[in-house]
Structure 1
């Protein structure tokens, strides 16, 4: 632990310099820089507070059900949300929660934050395991819970090279709800007391579809039963999607495609590929609709595309990107299709495949075949229900709520 603190102290000036450079380039504001240095001001009125930390938007969004449940159960407690990114901070602020960029992993900075906000419980998400932060919580008597704890084999090997630091860090965790059974086993092997390991609970399984404002023109142009979605595609996948669509429409002439790239900045090149393949294209960013292919080149609208599509190919899974979440399309009742690269959600896809609730494809031909097999509305609905059942995690969620309730400070009388 001492060596870690020494190394971090030596690296801190470099990290601060990088943060200052982002500030000078306009990528971060002054508040973010101050928060990284542990200089963010405390609240005007102190009250017992839950401090939740997430890496960025995706992890933070998965914790929304936890925030809502604890807020309803204990309205007397305040909240502080920290994230590693400005966009994550702004997302939390948009929910009406006090939020700031997380401080560097320096024990003094964490202790200042704990004191300024009267922190009584620290929740950290997935793989955000910061030794000094956890040590500062322990020194201040603040229990730490890790939600959706994720520890890959590679990360576990890295921790294993510093066994003293691992024991000191994992031994101070009051409760860990692992994202999968393998992560749970690795946490215990590295020093988490077995009795503090809770049941598997993947926070992303708690996703609830948002309320969407209706867009009748889109619904008319892209009927759900005749529309499929390629969700969050990466470079190297659009060619496969285009080939599959052209093959599938020979059996289903009215087939429509919504193509949503992971990075909309690539939209121009993708539109050129679609046009070269003889497909008509509408660009969402231009307010267009009605073409055979809708290029969803905007951010933050994936729920709308899930709602329009009866069949969803979850991308990032035909290239070595680890795949994207199956939970969100399953929550919309979509029939799921994915490739073999699903390391990011291995346990979830294993449950889907074991239940026969998702189709695994390798290339354009097998993707086209999967689309054809799910061509009937009844089959799409059946597959969607099967996916939702396979990914249901009510038991894990109930256990997590009980564990967190036990860690909260006593309620005022």
Structure 2
């Protein structure tokens, strides 16, 4: 009751602000601009990351079904619009905005990506008989502790959910303890693996066997990588390096490190459209081309791990069947790297041992290929098949 009253008062103030020159985005969230059309499924994700991870599910649902996607950020909305789907900013969790949105859209299923719990949205959907589902649900220990202090709020919201697929076992356990009914539980699904699992890996070939990719490097890593690669190249003269830096603004700095070692500087940004397969070192200083580099390299050092940046995802190189090397700093993906190492698909290496590790893989192409195949197999197994989940969501949408 307190939430409903305060949100109504806040909405009144925001409507006045919108009339007096508020932004178009605010008017869209208040539903005081053009109303959306009808849709069978309303999908909501916070922003780019959540909606990107759920992209394969959203696109599958949109085939043959009317879908509207909402986001909390303009960048998320604009990204989905670029997919060719109907997208807009989400209605604020306020009575008037939500009522206008639901009156216009009349969804049969509301699907949330990851974890957002809005009390008024949950209640109004239930009053209209709209099924509610969550995929890739996350609930950290800290968030669970905070919600446990509000059992009268979180309990009813979780009790209204018809289907929920958690991102991991820990989240599933915590959500159950907070009140999620057993009947709503679906098998866990890591949404972030769905897109890389759809990648068709490149075929094996000799040129790829002789190419090393240092992916998304940070300051403090390039010098060690160049030295390790040069040490390996002395034993394997045909070994090539693609140095894909995390921030293109550092290109001049990294070019200086390459020059200091007596190597020619070949920049991707200056050679677009050219065949660079014979360049000993390619400074990949552009954005949006990582898939190209993964396809060209059989050996991948995932950077952000030789210095304490927490590491980057191993699943993109795994999708392309790369043998994976990484440094000791992988706290962002520690479980993933541990699993890959157990499967013989990845190896941890210190900066001082990088040359030996690269030389070993460069001298044994079959070993590198086996590591890459093991990485891809693990990714495929962990991603699973989203088809049963998609079918269940379709059934929920059609059950009204």
Report the TM range for the smaller structure's normalisation: 0.7 to 0.9
Q: 1:372/1:180 Cα in 2 relative to 1: closer, same or farther (>3 Å)?
A: farther
Cα distance per residue 1:30-73 (max 9 Å; x no partner): 653433344452345x3x4212222333332322221233234x
Question: 1:94 Cα deviation (Å)?
Answer: 1.8
Write out aligned runs for 1:240-319 (5 A). 240-287=224-271, 289=276, 291-319=279-307
Question: 1:236 Cα deviation (Å)?
Answer: 4.3
- Note if contact 2:29-2:90 (Cα within 8 Å) is conserved in structure 1: yes
Matched, 1:66 2:77: no
Q: Which residue of 1 aligns with 2:395?
A: 406
Write out aligned runs for 1:128-167 (5 A). 128-167=116-155
- Note if contact 1:151-1:187 (Cα within 8 Å) is conserved in structure 2: yes
Whole-angstrom CA distance in 2 between matches of 1:8 and 1:233: 49
Q: Which moves more between the two structures, 179-188 or 347-356? A: 347-356
Question: 1:200 Cα deviation (Å)?
Answer: 1.7
Q: Which residue of 1 aligns with 2:78?
A: 90
Secondary structure at 1:119 match in 2? coil
Write out aligned runs for 1:6-405 (5 A). 6=6, 31-43=24-36, 46=38, 48-72=39-63, 75=64, 77-207=65-195, 208=197, 223-287=207-271, 289=276, 291-319=279-307, 321-361=309-349, 363-375=350-362, 376-391=364-379, 392-393=381-382, 395=384, 397-405=386-394
TM-score with structure 2 length normalisation? 0.82
Whole-angstrom CA distance in 2 between matches of 1:82 and 1:165: 23
Whole-angstrom CA distance in 2 between matches of 1:95 and 1:258: 30
- Note if contact 1:209-1:328 (Cα within 8 Å) is conserved in structure 2: no
- Note if contact 1:312-1:337 (Cα within 8 Å) is conserved in structure 2: yes
- Note if contact 2:36-2:101 (Cα within 8 Å) is conserved in structure 1: no
| Structure 2: gaps (5+ residues) | none
- Note if contact 2:307-2:329 (Cα within 8 Å) is conserved in structure 1: yes
Whole-angstrom CA distance in 2 between matches of 1:324 and 1:191: 34
Cα distance per residue 1:353-383 (max 9 Å; x no partner): 332222123x312444433332233222211
Question: 1:307 Cα deviation (Å)?
Answer: 1.0
| Structure 1: gaps (5+ residues) | 25-29, 215-219
- Note if contact 1:43-1:117 (Cα within 8 Å) is conserved in structure 2: yes
Whole-angstrom CA distance in 1 between matches of 2:214 and 2:13: 43
Q: For the pair shown, which has the larger CA radius of gyration, 1 or 2?
A: 2
Q: 1:235/1:42 Cα in 2 relative to 1: closer, same or farther (>3 Å)?
A: farther
Question: 1:387 Cα deviation (Å)?
Answer: 1.0
Q: Which residue of 2 aligns with 1:217?
A: none
Whole-angstrom CA distance in 1 between matches of 2:102 and 2:332: 32
Corresponding residue pairs, total: 389
Question: 1:300 Cα deviation (Å)?
Answer: 2.0
- Note if contact 2:7-2:94 (Cα within 8 Å) is conserved in structure 1: no
- Note if contact 2:213-2:294 (Cα within 8 Å) is conserved in structure 1: yes
Q: 1:370/1:187 Cα in 2 relative to 1: closer, same or farther (>3 Å)?
A: farther
Q: 1:382/1:211 Cα in 2 relative to 1: closer, same or farther (>3 Å)?
A: closer
Question: 1:346 Cα deviation (Å)?
Answer: 4.6
TM-score with structure 1 length normalisation? 0.79
Cα distance per residue 1:208-228 (max 9 Å; x no partner): 55689x9xxxxx9x9321222
- Note if contact 1:285-1:297 (Cα within 8 Å) is conserved in structure 2: yes
Whole-angstrom CA distance in 1 between matches of 2:29 and 2:83: 22
Question: 1:319 Cα deviation (Å)?
Answer: 4.8
- Note if contact 2:193-2:315 (Cα within 8 Å) is conserved in structure 1: yes
